[in-house]
Amino acid sequence: MLDRTVAPAATPINKIKIPLAEKSILANGIPLYSLNIACQEAVKIDLILQSGVVQEDMNGQSFMASKMLQEGTSKLGSSEIAEKLDFYGAFVDINSGFDNFTFTIYTLNKFVKEVLSIVQELLSDSIWPEEEFELAKKIKLQELQINNEKSNIVASKQFRRNLFGSDHPYGTILTPSNITELSREDSLSFFQNKLLSSPQIIVSGKVTEEVRETIGDAFGQLQISENPVSTGSFAILKNNDLVRKDGMQSSIRIGQMSIDRNHEDVHLLSVTNSVFGGYFGSRLMKNIREDKGYTYGIYSSIAHLNEAAFQVISADVKREFTQNTIDEIFKEMRLLKSELVGEIELRAATNYLLGQFLSSLDSPFNIATKFKSVLLAGVDYQYYYDYLDTLKSVTPDQILETANKYFNEDDLVQVVVGDLS
């Protein structure tokens, strides 16, 4: 009988093998990547388009496309679309990001043909009813009004603007006037001319030959386009910005431009950042949350976009602790650059990161997400295998060297929404 009073022995993880995707090409040139790695009769289909914010001619076009695609075709109204998808037990999630526009479909294998028929109709015959368009604008305006009262959202937007500059899409801030001035015709033009830009499809789950053929039938005849994606230049506006706002808390964002996924130091920087502020046991969390009690949570993260990468330290704190928190952030940064990390502390971080990576491979759909990340970054699975090797071999000396190379105080952009008094 199993003795549950005794913890199981910890064993090292020597090797991880991530399933490879099988590539095929649809009739119109769209690449299809298949991950047939499940027993359950269900699939997830990601249609990834290069038609995010970077492709917009006017702010808000991509966002409005994500809201209007399920609002009606020449044959189906919005309620009929919702009822049909619900009948088949399917779920469709549409998201517009900075670089990509993603159409994600979850469905049972036996209903793939019916569900993709609906999706194909949405992509080729969406009519954007005027009444639904105006309603979507009103909802977005209300959302912007509410969000502009939240210090954390204002801080994140202002940080991006200060980091990338207002001339680049990464630094643009969607405003109420942008939504008000956006016409149905402007948005529909984006849908008709730019939405189906450089598509790629990833299907995961129980991917049979019938599923692949059905995907080919549904998407292989779409009229696709090729559009340039670089639409602006970076220009850091200023290093420090204080936006005074009444309330109980201040929101702090401090960060800088970082290195992309192809850089030889990318994994060392990831581990260094985790020790500093990348997980619940990090130095920032132990000092500023557990010891000082200034905030419920503080994190340092590194974001990778197509045209740039950046590090950002984020915290929402009581107003009276704003400056104290900033001082402690810089204190921890200087310590990381001047003293070796202890072996126990380093192994705690790397063990956490290893466990986190393993948990991200616990289902076919999560494996597809991992594949999607390397596909869009233009790298392969060796990126992950190098990361795992780094977790096993990284030393305190390497952490010290990496911190000194990439944690540069003079380059930091600092935004506070609240009060420094």
Assess whether pLDDT exceeds 80 at residue 152: yes
Q: In what order do the strands lie in the sheet with 309-318?
A: 240-244, 413-418, 249-257, 309-318, 295-304
Assess whether pLDDT exceeds 60 at residue 59: yes
As a whole number of angstroms, the distance between CA 348 and CA 280 comes to: 11
Tokens in use for 310?
């950046």
User: pLDDT tens digits, residue range 67-83?
Assistant: 999 999 999 999 999 99
As a whole number of angstroms, the distance between CA 404 and CA 307 comes to: 24
Instruction: Cite the residue boundaries of each domain of the chain with CATH code 3.30.830.10.
Output: 22-219, 240-418
pLDDT of residue 7: 82
Assess whether pLDDT exceeds 80 at residue 266: yes
Mean pLDDT on 309-324: 94
Of 268, 406, 267, 239, nearest to 337 by C-alpha is: 406
CA 140 → CA 4, 51, 67, 112, 180, distances in Å? 52, 20, 10, 32, 10
- The domain at 240-418 falls in which architecture? 2-Layer Sandwich (3.30)
Domain 22-219 CATH (choose: 3.30.70.260, 2.60.120.200, 3.30.830.10, 3.30.300.340): 3.30.830.10
Question: DSSP state, 21?
Answer: P
pTM (2 decimals)?
0.91
Assess whether pLDDT exceeds 90 at residue 303: yes
pLDDT of residue 5: 87
Mean of the per-residue pLDDT values of the chain: 92
As a whole number of angstroms, the distance between CA 132 and CA 355 comes to: 45
Q: How many residues make up the chain in this entry?
A: 421
Assess whether pLDDT exceeds 60 at residue 407: yes
Is the separation of the CB atoms in 65 and 101 below 8 Å? yes
Assess whether pLDDT exceeds 90 at residue 314: yes
Tokens in use for 12?
């090292």
pLDDT of residue 236: 53
